[in-house]
A and B are shown apart, each in its own frame.
Chain A
Amino acid sequence: MAIKLYDYSLSGSCYKVRLLLDFLELDYEKRQMDFYPGREHRSLEFKQLNPLGQLPVLEDDGVRLRDAQAILCHLANKYDRSGQWLPRDPGSFGSVMMWLMFAGGELMAASAARLHDALGYDLDIEAARRNAHAAFRILDDHLTKREIEGGTWIVGEHPTLADIACFPYTALSSDGGIGREDYPALRNWLRAFHHLPKFKAMSGIAEFA
């Protein structure tokens, strides 16, 4: 099989890649990693595949990639005939990139809060929650404006990689003690994403919405 994903079921970052693989109906081999308590991703062997010691890692026909956002771009670029997931038109391309960076950057505070609360990671939890709320507010403000323009998705008229990248850690926010009471536009967007064909939930995200 051409595509191999080094995966952990509970990882929201791995879930970003699994979502796109399902949306594109791609077959792939899954190499299950003992992330916790085994910390296999921090082993010397795994660091030969990704020196950052992080998941996911994707291998595809001789190309090896780390970073969920980069992997999303690779898969969309190579396999998405429709061009929907990574639009190339000048009005959209940069915006999708901007929100991909945000998903791998500011939004990851919600992932930190979840790792602290669920798996006992030692970090500043108050700062993580505060930063997560700040990021959620930015996304909710953007989606509020999109609602007024008659749009559902982060960029343009249909879902893109921006939506896939931003979905997991916002949907999993309560795992880190981050409620969504203050974000009505965000909640509507989460629900719309949940109803996409070929969508599958993961642990911490309700199957039914």
Chain B
Amino acid sequence: MNAPTKASAGAPMQNKPSGYWARVAGDGNKMGFWFVLPTLLLMLFIVIFPLLMQLYLSVTWWTPLEGIAWYRAWEVFSWGENYYFLATDPRFWGALWRTLIVMVFAVPAQFFLGMALAYLFVDQFPGRKFFYSIMLTPMMIVPAVVGLMFFLLFQGTGPINEHLGLPSNFSWLTDVNRAMISVIIADVWQWTPLMFLILLAGMLGVPSDQLLAAKLLGGSNWQNFVKIILPRMKTVIIIALVLRAVECFKIFDLIFIMTKGGPGVQTETISLFLYKQTFGELEWAYVAAIGLTILFSLSVIAAKGLAYMAKNNG
């Protein structure tokens, strides 16, 4: 045998836990199986079956109105009509556009405000714990209640108009332009604390001696922030932005309570559009088609995003 042998040959990479557990994994696997079983069953129940059903319903004209059981929906088979309709439905594209508008304004606003707040709170100061708790309250309040709070604030006869010296017929929630602004303000109010919380955790994770070292080397606060703190927070920033973007895409409760998507369709985001299609128009087959399209698109985006992050971090 002249061929050089590799030292690592025969020792494949192990992804399993090391130590004692790996050696006696037999029995452990048995118990582990029973441990994962409930979750696996729930996942099967909520993923596989509904997905197939959604696929099935989305190619029919089925609605709960006509009294046909869902499994007999093939009787009203529609081929790809729902998908074709979706591609040309201005109301869907409008809703998507408005969802993006909310995201584009709310998420960066939350990010910059959250970052500024985190910078305020990164050092100790008397009363920090108290103010920190106050800062966190908005995100702990039931979103529907936040909707109610801003619904009350933005009434014509509410305190905001009074403070700004506007007449009581100056409307926010029923105005074509200001309705969207009101909704974004409410979302920023509720979710800036989340950004703040995450970014502060990230900022506190920057090793303090590195920051001191940067100061001692003569870097100004701004230089140190840009060159030391920000790059070190990269992962945290990505997590915070992705979390908020995903949640913002789903936004429903706030808007539904504040404006019901109105006036007209001025604040109708994807979730509100779907809700109205489901309960207003009762076009369940159409909603299934839209849902599946969103599901597919988001999955592709998520997969691409994960692959991109894996490439950049690896």
* Co-assembled chains A and B: no
